Structures are given as C-alpha cells and as structure tokens.
Amino acid sequence: MLLLNDIEKLVIHIDTKGKEIIKQDKQQVWVQVQAGENWHEFVLWCLENGFGGVENLALIPGNVGTSPIQNIGAYGVEVKDVIEKVHYIDIATNKKQILLNKECQFGYRESIFKKELKGKTVVTSVVFKLSTTNHKKNVAYGAIQTKLTEKEINNPTIKEIANAVICIREEKLPDPKKIGNSGSFFKNPIISINKFKDLHERFPTIPNYPVYELQPNSKSRMQNSELVKLAAGWLVDQCGYKGKRIGDAGVHEKQALVLVNYGNATGKGILSLAHFIQNSVKEKFGVTLEMEVNLVT
Ligand code: EPU
C-alpha cells in the first residue's frame, strides 16, 4: 500500500490470531489461519510442522489475510497454489462469506478482492492445503539454484529452500522495518511477442520469461506463445534510476523495482517518483509499467 494522505477516518487493524488444522489425510493437511497472523511466522510454523507449499514465500512482509488479495508470489510460487478457500465478511451486508480458490479470480498479483470486491470485504481467515509428504519442490528459479549450489545442496528439504529464499531476499530487498518500502512497486509487464521481438533486436540482453495460463476447466498451465513477460526491475535499472533519490523518495540501490522512503518522503512524493519512472520506461522501451502497490487516498 502507498498512503497518499493521512487518513482522517476510522482504520481497523485486523489482529485476529490462530492456526487450526481442520482436516488431514495421508499426504496433505488443511490449515485455517486467521487473517491477523504474520505471514512469515506462519511460513516458519509450516516448516516446523513439516508442511510444504509456502517455503518459497518465506520472508514476505504482511499478514495472512492480505495474502490472497494480492496473490503474493515469489521464486516460482504464488499463494493461489496453496489456497483452498478464503473466508471474508461482506461489508455491505455484514454477512460471513466464503470463496473457493477458483472463485477468487487469481492472476499475477491479482484477485477478485482487487477487482469487483475491492473495498467491499474484510478477509477474516484463509484455508491452505499443504503437503505433509512428497513435497512438490520449486527450485527452478535461477537465484534459488545458485544459492543451493553455493551451499552444495543437491536435494533440498523445504527448510533449506526457505533458507535459500531468506538469504536471497535479505541480500536484495530492503527490510520494511528498517526502511519504508512496499516490495516491488511495479508489476513485471506482459507484452506481445511481436513487440518483444522488436525490443530484443534493440536490447539483446533484455531478460524475458514465458507466460503461462491456467487452462479453462483444468488445473494444467500452458504457455501462451503470443505473450512474453519482462523484468520491470531491469527496465527501470536501464533507465538509470537504481540508487537515485528525489529528496527522501528513492529507488533501492540493489533492486530498481523497489521504491523506498528514506524518512520524510510523503506518499505523493513517492508517487511522483513513480510517475517519472513510468514515463522514462515508456519513452525508452515503449512499455507501460503498471503499479503493483495499492494507492490509498
Ligand atoms: N534486474 C536488474 N536490475 C534491478 C533489478 C532486477 O537488472 O535493479 C534484473 C535481474 O537481474 C533479473 C530480472 O531483472 O534478470 C528479474 O529480477 P529479480 O529476479 O530480482 O525479480 P523481479 O522480477 O524483479 C519478482 C517479483 C518479486 C519476487 C521476485 C522473485 C514482481 C513485480 N516482483 O521480482 O516480488 O520476490 O520476482 O520471485 O513480480 C513483490 O511482488 O513485492 C516482490 C518482491
């Protein structure tokens, strides 16, 4: 979130706690977690209990209740991969409601809670479906591979994967307890293959990733060969913004995708830096950067 003004209205901080195993079979466990639980503490609790599925999402700041809203993701995993359902209160009717995973319209940093239900719900708890054995490990992400190789680990446990992720995040991303930031400020843009071919000719080292889409009526994901995902951090970096600051609003020195507040920047100051960046990227690459943060007025 980026607060653009001081908020002169009632603010409710959801601080409900509790993690309950509600169902278990030979290979999986279903855990209902209250919205106010700290996300990373929940990940650590899963690791202590040998529950797999969230290890790649270690050290993401925030609470469990916000995780489905943004569909938080990192290192090849998104929280939608382990969410069974989301409990929420409909603010207009004051009624408790439940949405199943497939009803949440999850996408890349997207969900129904940011679209048609925006501002209309309070998420109260999330039910996760986690593995207790035969964990599906996601170690394909380059930085994880490098970190595991450095530590000479061939067949990592879920704890070792989490530790690798924690190391990578600590090296690259600023700790919001020490310096104000909201993680990646922009989403990685998705562009057409034709536009990509043109960019690739002009910038041969441009990082790019395939785009996968969930097939209707099936759980399998297929590559969409018409689309390519770019690294917003690289685009911003190439425009020369890394480590730059305007007053106390700055671009992190190790990750150009993260905007930071060195102390006294206002929300509007951060936003105007973001607009400068968007304009530069548009001018140099013809690519529009969409904000990942939610602007709160
Ligand atoms: N890069 C640069 N310069 C930079 C930053 C990145 O050249 O200043 C290049 C890197 O060298 C790499 C590429 O850009 O080739 C991608 O960088 P990185 O692997 O750091 O990941 P990212 O795309 O910048 C995304 C997520 C992060 C998530 C990481 C790991 C988005 C918007 N961001 O970052 O999520 O932790 O991948 O999975 O999708 C967040 O959403 O708040 C967040 C931190």
| Domain spans of the chain, in order of start | 19-172, 180-296
- What pLDDT is attached to residue 219? 65
What distance in angstroms lies between residue 234's CA and the mean position of ligand 1's atoms? Answer: 8
What distance in angstroms lies between residue 213's CA and the mean position of ligand 1's atoms? Answer: 20
Strands 221-230 and 249-251: unpaired
Which residue is closest in CA terms to ligand 1's atom 41? 184
State the CB neighbour count (10 A cutoff) for residue 152. 6
Phi, psi (degrees; rounded to nearest 5) at 116: -65, -20
Pocket test for ligand 1, best of 145, 257, 287 (most atoms within 8 A of CB): 257
Which residue is closest in CA terms to ligand 1's atom 25? 74
Mean pLDDT by 10 residues, the chain (297 residues): 92 96 97 98 98 98 96 96 98 98 95 96 98 95 92 96 97 93 96 98 96 74 92 98 97 97 96 98 98 91
Active-site pick, 67, 125, 182, 184: 184
167 burial type by CB count under 10 A (0-12 exposed, 13-18 middle, 19+ buried):
middle
Which residue is closest in CA terms to ligand 1's atom 33? 184
Query: Of ligand 1's atoms, which has the minimum distance to the CA of residue 70?
Result: 41
Q: Spell out a b/e string for 45-66, using b for 16 or more CB atoms within 10 Å of the CB, else e.
A: bbbeeebbbbbbbbbbbbbbbb
Q: What lines the ligand 1 site, CB under 6 Å? A: 74-75, 143, 172, 183-184, 187-188, 207, 231-234, 237, 242, 255-257, 292
Q: Nearest Cα to 230, choosing from 264, 250, 257, 252? A: 257
Q: Nearest Cα to 62, choosing from 167, 182, 165, 173? A: 182
Strands 19-24 and 28-34: antiparallel
Task: Tell me the two tokens of residue 95.
Answer: 């009624």
Which residue is closest in CA terms to ligand 1's atom 9? 234
Active-site pick, 55, 78, 109, 160: 109
43 burial type by CB count under 10 A (0-12 exposed, 13-18 middle, 19+ buried):
buried
For tokens 């097939």, the residue is 215
| 169 tagged catalytic | no
- What pLDDT is attached to residue 100? 98
Is the separation of the CB atoms in 169 and 280 below 8 Å?
A: no
Question: Measured between alpha carbons, how far is residue 230 from residues 90, 202, 294 in Å?
Answer: 36, 14, 21
Q: Nearest Cα to 14, choosing from 35, 44, 29, 33? A: 35
Domain topology for 19-172:
3.30.465
State the CB neighbour count (10 A cutoff) for residue 211. 18
Q: Nearest Cα to 80, choosing from 110, 60, 55, 52? A: 110
| Cα separation, 258 vs 16, whole angstroms | 29
- What pLDDT is attached to residue 103? 97
Give domain 180-296's CATH number out of 3.90.78.10, 3.40.50.2300, 3.40.50.20, 3.60.10.10: 3.90.78.10
| 292 tagged catalytic | yes
Give the N- to C-terminal CA distance of the chain in Å, as an integer: 10
